[in-house]
Chains A and B, each alone.
Chain A
Amino acid sequence: MSARESEKRIGEGATSIEDQLPLPPPKVSFGERFAQIFVPAAMLVLLIGIWHFYVTFNDVPHYILPSPLLVAQSLYNDWPVLFRALQVTVEITFSALALALVGSVAVAIIMSQWRLAELAIFPYAVILQVTPIVAIAPLIIIYAPTTHAALLICAFLVAFFPILSNTIQGLRSTDHNLLNLFELYGANRLQTLALLKIPNALPYFLAGLRIAGGLALIAAVVAEFVAGSAGADSGLAFRLLESQYRLLIPRLYAALLLLSLTGVVIFFATSLISHLLLRKWHESAVRREN
């Protein structure tokens, strides 16, 4: 806020109502928009260029470090295999995330409403979280009916906790005066939950969702490393390992690229959801101008 604007706001008692109208959001200049896209793009071209020339000039064998062209070629040639693997990994990640979202929000609400439920559940949720997933994965693979189910359970367990703990934190950190206000006007528990606690928890929940999105993908990959599935139902992690055994290094890079892209897409999707839900009121979604 500029000095003049803040003067305007403070001096509102003396000015007319028109002066008090809220300021429109600050505009992003074209130059800045351009820079936001151009600079990272130029960086990407530069890095690929360096990679390409390093490989070409030093005659690096393709089973050590393939050139970017070879990776692209492999991506094209192996697309049917890689795409099927990508589908499997994406399917596991998003199902796990969806299950974790529904489950953790339900558990968080139950825990916030009944103290007894919180006492009973929370310590075990923490234990489940702090135990490394790689260590439980072999057990899950034994007990789960299919490998696919095992991978789903692993990714679910990892994604569950960040959303749970954040949502609980959000439900608990409701402003005490607002709680008093609701009490004063005779709000029942359901009204307090729906109109006050849940909206208040939304930014916390979304922060948890962003963490969980990344973790779900990691867990899906790690669990597949452990499970070592094969055949038509194998995901990108298995294709990665397979490419390494068979020294198909360009394909390994191609699989890795697809995994990174999946991670990026998840990150942007969760960020976008967060932005859309919070842009009107939450400080995190508002551009700061000094």
Chain B
Amino acid sequence: MPDDAHDIALHHIALKVNGTSYKGSIEARMLLSDFLRHELKLAGTHVGCEHGVCGACTVLLDGAPVRSCLMFAVQAHGRELATIEGLAAPSGDLSPLQAAMHEHHGLQCGYCTPGILMTMTAFLREHQEPSEHEVREALSGNLCRCTGYQNIVDAVLKAAETLRAAAP
């Protein structure tokens, strides 16, 4: 029986993604991942499982990596998000991590890559000189089925090196 008992109330939200302000009018149950991809047309964030395990949907919420499939869009009202679309510079220059992933062949099909980029971008902000083990630990919440992780680890270590060299 159709559930008319539930109001399909629309919630009005305002949030920032990659520094740009957005508004939305959505059902409460709309997942943040779907909101980003289909309402805001920021389809760079990918959906792999919708139960919080694969990590492909990882975005930064106020700078911290979270699973966008485990949040409702309404919960992001008033918050600042960062997604893969915001990593490269306005000039088009890739971030040190994006560039290192390219150099080290850290992606094959590229589907898990957005989640990995966001997770490890946040990681590199807090770890200037990570060991390989620390990188693998930080990466362990993002599943990749193509690469076997080795080249991703190399890319992260290289990016850390690049960032250290550029640091004032």
* Binding between chains A and B: no
| Chain A residues near B (Cβ < 8 Å) | none
